[in-house]
Copies of this chain bind each other. A is one copy, B any other.
Amino acid sequence: MPASSRAPARVKDRPTWLVSRLFARSSGLLADGFEAHGGGLRSYHYRLLAALEEWGPASQADLGRATGIDRSDVTAVLSELESRRLVGRSADPGHGRRNIVTITAAGAEQLRELDAVVDGVQERLLSPLTAAQRRQFVALMSKLLADGSAPPTG
């Protein structure tokens, strides 16, 4: 199963490689969980459902901006969610083109299931670490991401 744990020495110890492998493991666990308990939904669906529950009904463009998902992908994924009745699309009165997307009760229910799946994956992903190490790990990643695109201090 561990497809590409193998690599040349100059590759396999570099942080970028470790990040890549860790992402592979993380996304693999998520994919497994979603497949098993998510009814074939993927991370895009989860992100959009979560955004709708957190911020309430919104237009597709707003959803895209809120989640960082491209407008075109939002359209496609919402269509899938809509066909499963997890989401509703209705025209914005007073603004012809815009849609108002709402999460349905079934959607909120599905979101809770996905939340449980995602929580379980966190646990499985971090299981080799102690609680203190997990906090360290999260703190280090947060620091990398926060200061990563740091302004030129000028």
Contacts and interface: CB of A to CB of B under 8 A. Distances in A.
Interface residues of A, number: 62
Contacts of A115: 10
A41 interface: no
A54 B6 CA distance: 13
A66 B14 contact: no
Q: Oligomeric state, in number of copies?
A: 2
Interface stretch (A80-88, A91-99, A132-140): A132-140
A15 B136 contact: no
A46 B16 CA distance: 13
B149 A1 contact: yes
Given A15-B122, A128-B150, 10 more contacts: A4-B69, A6-B66, A7-B68, A18-B141, A19-B19, A19-B22, A19-B141, A20-B23, A128-B146, A140-B140
Nearest 8 A/B pairs, CB to CB: A4-B68, A128-B147, A23-B23, A8-B50, A18-B141, A8-B54, A6-B68, A19-B26
14 contacts: A4-B69, A7-B51, A15-B122, A16-B121, A19-B22, A19-B141, A22-B141, A25-B144, A125-B148, A128-B150, A129-B143, A136-B136, A137-B137, A137-B140
